[in-house]
Structure 1
Amino acid sequence: MKNFKILVFGTFAAIFFNGCDVTPPFQVVQLQENARGITVARSTPYNCTVLGEVEGRSENNGYGANLQLMRDSAVNDAKNNAAYVIGEGKRAMINIVSEKAVCLLNGQRVDCSGNVIGYVQSYRINAQVFDCGIK
C-alpha cells in the first residue's frame, strides 16, 4: 500500500512539474494583407523614391526556430512596417541594408549572423523603403 501511495504521488508530481514548463513553438510573423505586394530588391531600384528606413524584428521565445525561419519572420515584419510608410495603391520595394542574428551561447549574447552557434534568440533587419509609383 505504501508503494502505491508513493507511485500515485510521484505520478501527480511529474504531471504537475512537467505542466509548468510549457514552452510554446516559435511563431513566424505573419505577412499582413497590405504588405503582400512589397518585394525585396537586391540593390537600389531604378525610378523609385526612397521614403526612409524600417526595421524588421523576430524574437524567439520558444522552440523550433532556426536561422532561416527567424530571417523570414524579420523580413515579414519589415514588409509590414514598410506598408504603413508607403500607404495604399503604390508599388513598393525594400532593400535590406543590414542584418544581424543574435544567439545565446553559454549565457552570453553573441552575433551569429554567419552561422548558428547556440540558441537563436533574435534576428533584426534594417531596410530602405522605396516608392515605385502607382500600381
Structure 2
Amino acid sequence: MKKIRFIVFVCIVFAFSGCFSQPMFYATALHKEAVGVTIARSTPYNCTVLGEIEGRSDTELGAMGANLQTLRDSAINDAKNTASQVVGANKRIMLRVFNEMAICMQGNRPVNCTEREIGFIRSYRLNAQVFDCGQK
C-alpha cells in the first residue's frame, strides 16, 4: 500500500512539474539573407531611402534569459530580417534606428523601461529607416 501511494505521489509531482517551470526566451534568429544588413548611426550618403520598418521582440513575463539587451538584439534581428525581405537579394542594405522603446510590467501596469529595466521586461520595439545602398 505504501508503495502504491509513493508511486501515485511521484506521478503527481512529475505531472505538475511542468506547470511551475519558467518559460525560456528565444531570440529571433538572423536569417542567412540578412547577415550583411548593417546599422547606421546617421543617414548614409549615396543611398536611397525605401521606407520605414518595425523590429519587435516579445516575451512572456518572467521568461528566463529575457533582459533589456537580449530583447533589443532580438528586435534588431527582426528588423534586419524584414529589411532583407523588403529590399531583396544582392543589395547592400543599411538601417538607421530612429526610435526605440522597451515595455516592462511593474505590478499590473506597463511602463516604459528603455533606459533601465524596471520589473519584468515584456517587449522591445524599434523603428528604422531602410536604405538601399546599391549592389553588393
Question: Is TM (by shorter chain) over 0.5?
Answer: yes
Query: Partner of 1:65: helix, strand, or coil?
Result: coil
Corresponding residue for residue 123 of structure 1: 124
Distance 2:11 2:32 in 1: 46
Structure 1: state its 5+ residue gaps.
none
The answer to whether 1:39 aligns with 2:47 is no
TM-score for the superposition, normalised by structure 2: 0.89
What residue number does 2:72 align with? 71
- Give ranges in structure 2 of 5+ residues lacking alignment: none
- Distance in 2, matches of 1:95 and 1:20, equals 42
Distance 2:19 2:116 in 1: 32
Q: Which residue pairs with 1:57 in the alignment?
A: 56
Corresponding position of 1:11:
10
Name the SS of the counterpart of 2:18 in structure 1.
Answer: helix
Equivalenced residues, count: 134
Task: Report the equivalent of 1:84.
Answer: 85
Cα drift, residue 6 of structure 1: 5.5
- Using the TM superposition, give the Cα deviation of residue 110 of structure 1 relative to its aligned residue in structure 2, in angstroms: 0.8
* Greater mean deviation of Cα atoms: 94-103 or 82-91: 82-91
Counterparts of 1:72 and 1:107 in 2: how far apart (Å)? 26
Q: For the residues of structure 2 that align with 1:33 and 1:15, how far apart are their CA atoms?
A: 40
Task: Note the alpha carbon deviations across 1:23-47, whole angstroms, 9 max, x for none.
Answer: 4311110001111111000000011
Q: How far has the Cα of 1:107 moved from its partner? A: 1.4
Aligned identity (percent) is 50
Provide the TM-score with structure 1 as the length reference: 0.90
Q: Which runs of 4+ in 1 moved over 6 A?
A: none
SS of 1:91's equivalent?
A: strand
C-alpha displacement of 1:85: 1.3
- Give the corresponding residue for 1:103: 104
Residue type matched to 1:71 in 2?
Answer: R
Q: For 1:101 and 1:76, how far apart are their aligned partners in 2? A: 16
